């Protein structure tokens, strides 16, 4: 089997010619319309107003969530007395079942 000649990828790309770029050029980006300083200030003020409204909304949602958590805690605490007794029973059963009898000859 003969070796194939090495093809330099850069030389191959150059032989094809220049690549046609798709999309805007750097000149297009530089010439695009930009806002004036006053317009930028107005946009910043609008953002601040919007963020205040968002902060108020989040505050209300946090309060509602805290109320829900309190209700849920009260339900759990009122029902926890009976559940704690159940847990103690389960622990006792586990201790009893986990013990190894002394009559077992291999130990």
What pLDDT was estimated at residue 98? Answer: 65
- 82 found inside a domain: yes
Helical residues (DSSP H) of the chain, grouped into ranges:
9-16, 26-31, 37-98
pLDDT at 71 (0 to 100): 95
Instruction: Tell me what pLDDT residue 103 has.
Output: 60
Is 13 part of a structural domain of the chain? yes
Contact between residue 31 and residue 23 where contact means Cβ atoms under 8 Å apart: no
Assess whether pLDDT exceeds 70 at residue 9: yes
89 part of a folded domain: yes
Predicted confidence (pLDDT) per residue in 38-75, tens digit: 999 999 998 888 788 888 899 999 999 999 999 999 99
* Host domain of residue 32: 9-98
pTM: 0.32
Rounded CA-CA distance 61/44 in Å is: 26
Domain-embedded: residue 3: no
* HSE of 42, CA atoms in CB hemisphere, 13 A: 5
Please give the DSSP secondary-structure letter assigned to residue 7. -
Q: What is the domain count for the chain?
A: 1
Does some domain include residue 103? no
């Amino acid at each position: 089997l003969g070796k194939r000649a090495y093809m330099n990828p850069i030389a191959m790309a150059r032989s094809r010619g220049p690549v046609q770029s798709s999309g805007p050029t750097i000149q297009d980006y530089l010439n695009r319309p930009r806002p004036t300083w006053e317009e930028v200030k107005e946009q910043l003020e609008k953002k601040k107003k919007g963020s205040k409204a968002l902060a108020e909304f989040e505050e209300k949602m946090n309060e509602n969530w805290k109320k829900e958590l309190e209700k849920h805690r009260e339900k759990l605490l009122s029902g926890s007395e009976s559940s704690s007794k159940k847990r103690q029973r389960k622990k006792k059963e586990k201790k009893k079942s986990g013990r190894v009898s002394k009559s077992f000859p291999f130990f």
